[in-house]
Amino acid sequence: DGLDGEAAEALRVALHLNVAAVALRREDWYLAAAACRWVTERQPANAKALYRLGVAQEGTGDSPGALRSLAACVKAEPQNREARRLFEQLRDEAEQRRSLYSGIGGRSGFGGSDAPPPPPPGPEREDELTQRIRALLEKEAKEENEKLRAQADAEAREASGMPPTAREEAMQKARQGAGGEALLK
């Protein structure tokens, strides 16, 4: 009993949101942000992903990114009190910093750089669970890229009138089960 495309996608979204929640509890800001970005690429107005992304970005020191994510969250879900509270807190802190440093080094403060903050000093060893989750996220991204590339190649071949390759024919037959039902990849 396989899941159809929409059910499989909904499950992936839920799993990525859960990875983000666990990563935030562990203060693994970069893993949380990666999981949330995966969700927001597919569902740009997913308030839960936007909120968790904002928290993760604030954890990495990316206050402007956190403000953008939280603003999008509040726009998508105006009744979200926690998102609104954090957004207003970060906005107020940014305004205080701007006014404090407004006369120093030009209009944007000391460095005037939009570059992300440097990584934390020294490599922190990831535990096995984090390594496995990171590997799964990377594998999923690679599979998604391969799928998109194959789809683009097939569309280009179709547009040019070229016949499908033997591999494409074999994959199409493998995707179809008994009775012509499509199987989940």
- Encode pLDDT of 25-80 as tens digits: 999 999 999 999 999 999 999 999 999 999 999 999 999 999 999 999 999 999 99
CA distances from 182 to 1, 5, 10, 70, 172 (A): 11, 10, 18, 39, 9
Burial of residue 13, with CB atoms counted within 10 A of its CB: 0-12 exposed, 13-18 middle, 19 or more buried:
middle
Task: Write the single-letter amino acid at 129.
Answer: L
The chain-wide mean pLDDT, for the chain, equals 81
What the block records as the tokens of 142 is 């690679």
**Model pTM?**
0.56
| Residue with the larger pLDDT of the pair 162 and 45 | 45
Taking each helix axis as running N to C, give the angle between helix 128-160 and helix 29-42, from 0 to 180 degrees, rounded to the nearest 10.
30
Q: Which of 54, 62, 14 is nearest to 32 (CA)?
A: 54
